[in-house]
Amino acid sequence: MIDWRHWHNEPHLIGGLVLLAWLYALLTGPLRARVALGEPYPRRQAWRFYAALVIFYLAVGSPLDQMGERFLFSAHMVQHQIIVYPAAALFLLGLPGWLVRPLTGRRPGRLQRGLVHPLTCALVYSLTVSLWHAPDLYDWALQNRTVHIVEHIMFFATALLYWWPVLSPSAELPRLRPGAQMLYQIGVIIAMTPLFAYLAFFSEYPLYPTYEYAPRLVAQIAPMDDQLLAAAIMKIGGMFVAFIVFAYAFVQWHDEASDPQSPPT
């Protein structure tokens, strides 16, 4: 059963997070003058960046990881939602524009623009998440720790792409205008619908043997019920986030439309 006192302290996890925190502190502190002369310390963004690292650790280092890896598909889905939404969003919100400029360049090329094009971001994100839910791949990740780590890194990396058109910190590769953000969210929801339908409606039996034969943490939740719950968590979580982004973009779009001095959306 689950040991609620067990928190992961593997060197690759703790070391990776500490390395990211150290690099951020170094680049925004002692080396800031070399990266962007005259820029103040990004205090608010720093809080968001470090919060992203803490949230990421809570998702993959807390007992939630053991619960999702060995017992409940729905717990694993909660873990993925945390990685994809709050952790990735706060990570991007924590990056000052001048910090990403060495990567984007002052005049981004075709490759850079193509990588963060909304269509590319939506396709790469939805395909990555969908393919990893193929029964053989998903169960392989549950049985092999290294593969599981790769899966989580790919989810986080493609989540950064998913968020870029909405939360881009770069003036050279900026976020979409509000009207386009709303269309982008609708597109991502449509792109993720086949995976939801596959998990919820088109499988008559549990897709993942690890969860089918796992001990029942909650006796009332059978493996198929757990799979349906996971699908609901994925769909409702994605739609809730999309609704928040959509509503915020709609308000901005309305304000710009009411202001004759604003550029067209």
Give the pLDDT of residue 160.
97
Q: Please state whether 38 falls in left (phi above 0), alpha (psi between -120 and 50) or beta.
A: left
Closest to 210 measured CA to CA, from 71, 95, 106, 96: 71
Identify whether 125 is part of a domain.
Answer: yes
User: pLDDT above 90 covers what percent of the chain?
Assistant: 73
Tally the domains of the chain: 1
pTM (2 decimals)? Answer: 0.92
Give the pLDDT of residue 8.
82
Please list, in sequence order, all residues whose beta carbon lies within 8 angstroms of the beta carbon of residue 137, skipping any fewer than 6 positions away.
131
The rounded distance, in Å, linking the Cα atoms of 259 and 108 is 30
Identify whether 1 is part of a domain.
Answer: no
Identify whether 131 is part of a domain.
Answer: yes
**Per-residue pLDDT reduced to its tens digit, 235-253:** 999 999 999 999 999 999 8
Identify whether 263 is part of a domain.
Answer: no
Please list, in sequence order, all residues whose beta carbon lies within 8 angstroms of the beta carbon of residue 58, skipping any fewer than 6 positions away.
64, 82
Identify whether 2 is part of a domain.
Answer: no
Q: DSSP string spanning 57-91? A: HHHHHSHHHHHHHHT-HHHHHHHHHHIIIIIHHHH
Q: SS3 for 137? A: helix
Identify whether 242 is part of a domain.
Answer: yes
Identify whether 70 is part of a domain.
Answer: yes
The rounded distance, in Å, linking the Cα atoms of 33 and 98 is 11
User: pLDDT above 70 covers what percent of the chain?
Assistant: 95
Helices 73-82 and 223-258 cross at an angle (nearest 10°) of 20
The rounded distance, in Å, linking the Cα atoms of 256 and 265 is 8
Q: DSSP string spanning 153-214? A: HHHHHHHHHHHHHHH---SSSPPPPHHHHHHHHHHHHHHHHHHHHHHHTS-SS-S-HHHHSS
What H or E segment, with its residue span, contains residue 222? none
Give the pLDDT of residue 66.
87
Domain ranges, residue 165? 11-104+112-258
Q: Per the structure block, which two tokens stand in for 99?
A: 């910090």
Residue 72: pLDDT above 60? yes
Identify whether 144 is part of a domain.
Answer: yes
**Per-residue pLDDT reduced to its tens digit, 197-217:** 999 988 888 999 999 998 887
* Backbone φ and ψ of 32, nearest 5°: -60, -40
